[in-house]
Amino acid sequence: MSLFRLAKNVEPEPLLRGDGLYLRPAVSSDFNAWAELRAESRDFLTPWEPTWPDDDLTRAAFRRRLRRQNEEISRDESFSFLIFDSASHAMLGGLTLGGVKRGVAQAATLGYWMGAPHAGKGRMTRAVAVATRYGFATLRLHRIEAACLPQNIASMTLLERNGFQREGLARAYLRINGAWRDHVLYALLEPEAIRLG
């Protein structure tokens, strides 16, 4: 067995189920709902995200996003999901386990966004729980990392509710809303997730 490839090739589950919600990779028919949710949430998301390209909400940009999503899944590099309400099937937001590192690391980075109408209702906390279970059980990760701006109390709270431990501060870590910003670093290890149940 090679130390540099400890996990089998995996395709994402077509559906990851959680408490009142489900996650699945985006498909082309998601474009309208995705573009509408992102557009109505733009002011809400802007302080926490990289600057949006001018064509971000176009169908062509969404097709490029899908192509990249599928290529990254096939290369075992990143696993992106949209989040939906189980009852209404309304799109709530999105989540990614990206930057997958294999070999002696077996790690990935968690990123997420929630549409403005759905924020503050505990849904992302539940979606992160589903994603971390998938990361440890199916992707066979050992460590899932996350980072957020120090003033993003909601994000820090949801990570801590999912058992993530604060590990430090990374200076000028990511370019957010046009400026290099410090981020609080968090991580969850597989043994900790198992103890949480």
Distance CA 107, CA 20 (A): 27
Reading the block at residue 121, the tokens are: 């209702």
> Among residues of the chain, what percentage have pLDDT more than 90?
88
Length of the chain, in residues: 197
Per-residue confidence (pLDDT) for residue 14, from 0 to 100? 60
The values of phi and psi at residue 90, to 5°, are -70, 140
Across the chain, which distance is largest between two alpha carbons, in Å?
49
**Rounded Cα distance, 106 and 138, in Å:** 12
More confident residue, 4 or 159: 159
DSSP 3-state of 96 = strand
The domain made up of 16-141 has a fold known as Aminopeptidase (3.40.630)
Q: Share the mean pLDDT of the chain.
A: 92
Q: What is the spatial distance between Cα 78 and Cα 110, in angstroms, rounded to a whole number?
A: 10
The Cα–Cα gap between 140 and 133 comes to 10
- The whole-number pLDDT of residue 9 equals 47
pLDDT at 8 over 50: no
Cα separation, 114 vs 83, in Å, equals: 9
Alpha-carbon torsion (27, 31, 33, 34), positive or negative: positive
3-state secondary structure at position 61 = helix
Per residue in 112-171, pLDDT tens? Answer: 999 999 999 999 999 999 999 999 999 999 999 999 999 999 999 999 999 999 999 999
